[in-house]
């Protein structure tokens, strides 16, 4: 199994530009999570999907952030326009369910730097 | 949400056992105790989880206090590859939050050769 795949692995952009992060969950998993990690705030959940439907987006910082899951094998996290404070590592994770015993499998992350 | 408290950092020598503590004094009867770790420049990975009884797997052991207010992750023989940040996380079986993980600061484990 290839695990959770994220692209790009690194992204450097200028303030005001649109950024799109991509995630392919593990085949057969029906839950997908987007997390962000910064030195100041640690790891925090942005949004998660169950069966391609967004369930909880309370962690999304503001309207500049949006996430979609058009099908079971693909999700995007978009930032438009990007700002320097969005610089962070963004992780995608998937699991085969949402119960408290389900293991989440994380991708390698996308390291975003907004200049 | 019940919270966990972990030491910020710990040191270990290679090939010696490591005991990573976690306090969760406000744990509820339906909270599962999960441990994840994050190796440098990687995403978090699952280590182990338990409810009441001690648990063993190929990576580690989890010792849970009888009152469940604390737990200890045990690495039986630390290797250099075990250097990581270890997170203790509570997940409630009755929580309708969909299984999201709430990460604290974790314990940064360093392993000396």
Distance (Å, rounded) from C-alpha A92 to C-alpha A70? Answer: 15
Cα–Cα separations (whole angstroms), residue A63 to A3, A57, A75, A90, B67 = 30, 11, 18, 17, 44
Q: What is the pLDDT of residue A47?
A: 95
For B98, phi then psi, to 5°, come to 80, 20
Across residues B20-32, what is the average pLDDT?
92
Percent of chain B's residues with pLDDT above 70: 92
Contact B103/A at CB under 8 A: yes
Residues of A with CB under 8 A from a CB of B: 4, 31, 33, 35, 42-45, 48, 50, 55-56, 91, 93, 95, 97-109
pLDDT of A106 > 80? The answer is yes
Q: What is the pLDDT of residue A80?
A: 97
pLDDT of A86 > 60? The answer is yes
Q: Is B99–A31 a contact, with Cβ atoms under 8 angstroms apart?
A: yes
**Contact by Cβ (8 Å): B61, B76:** yes
pLDDT of B79 > 80? The answer is yes
Look at residues B76, B86, B91 and name the one whose alpha carbon lies nearest to residue B109: B86
pLDDT of A48 > 70? The answer is yes
For B32, which residue in chain A has the nearest alpha carbon? A100
Binned at pLDDT 50, 70 and 90, residue B98 comes out as low
For strand A88-95 and strand B61-64, is the pairing parallel, antiparallel, or unpaired?
Answer: unpaired
For B35, which residue in chain A has the nearest alpha carbon? A103
Q: Is A100–B102 a contact, with Cβ atoms under 8 angstroms apart?
A: no
Sole residue written with tokens 């979609």: A68
pLDDT tens, B29-78? 888 999 999 999 999 999 999 999 999 999 999 999 999 999 999 999 99
Distance (Å, rounded) from C-alpha A23 to C-alpha A58? Answer: 20
Across residues B77-94, what is the average pLDDT?
91
- Token pair for residue B73? 């992750």
Contact B80/A at CB under 8 A: no
Q: What is the pLDDT of residue B61?
A: 97
pLDDT of A100 > 80? The answer is no
pLDDT of A99 > 90? The answer is no
pLDDT of B95 > 70? The answer is no
Q: What is the pLDDT of residue B28?
A: 87
Q: Which residues of B touch A55 (CB under 8 A)?
A: 98
Q: What is the pLDDT of residue B91?
A: 84
Chain-centre distance of CA B9, in angstroms? 13
Q: Among B43, B49, B95, select the one facing A108 at the smallest CB separation.
A: B43
User: Which conformational region is residue A96 in: left (phi greater than 0), alpha (psi within -120 to 50 degrees), or beta?
Assistant: alpha
For A46, phi then psi, to 5°, come to -95, -50
């Amino acid at each position: 199994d290839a695990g959770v795949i994220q692209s790009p692995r690194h992204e450097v952009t200028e303030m005001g530009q649109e950024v799109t992060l991509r995630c392919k969950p593990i085949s057969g998993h029906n839950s997908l999570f987007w997390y962000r990690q910064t030195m100041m705030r640690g790891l925090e959940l942005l949004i998660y999907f169950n069966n391609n439907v967004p369930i909880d987006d309370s962690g999304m910082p503001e309207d500049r952030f949006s996430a979609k899951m058009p099908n079971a094998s693909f999700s995007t996290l978009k930032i438009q326009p990007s700002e320097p404070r969005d610089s962070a590592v963004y992780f995608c994770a998937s699991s085969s369910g949402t119960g408290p015993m389900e293991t989440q499998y994380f991708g390698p992350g996308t390291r975003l730097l907004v200049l | 949400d019940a919270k966990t408290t972990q030491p910020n950092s710990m040191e270990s020598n290679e090939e010696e056992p490591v005991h990573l503590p976690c306090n969760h004094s406000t744990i509820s009867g339906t909270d599962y105790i999960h441990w994840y770790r994050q190796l440098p420049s990687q995403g978090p990975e699952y280590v182990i989880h338990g409810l009441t009884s001690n648990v063993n797997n190929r990576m580690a052991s989890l010792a849970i206090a009888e009152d469940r207010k604390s737990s200890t992750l045990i690495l039986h023989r630390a290797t250099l590859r075990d250097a990581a940040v270890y997170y203790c996380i509570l997940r409630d079986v009755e929580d309708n939050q969909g299984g999201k993980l709430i990460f604290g600061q974790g314990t940064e484990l360093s392993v000396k050769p």
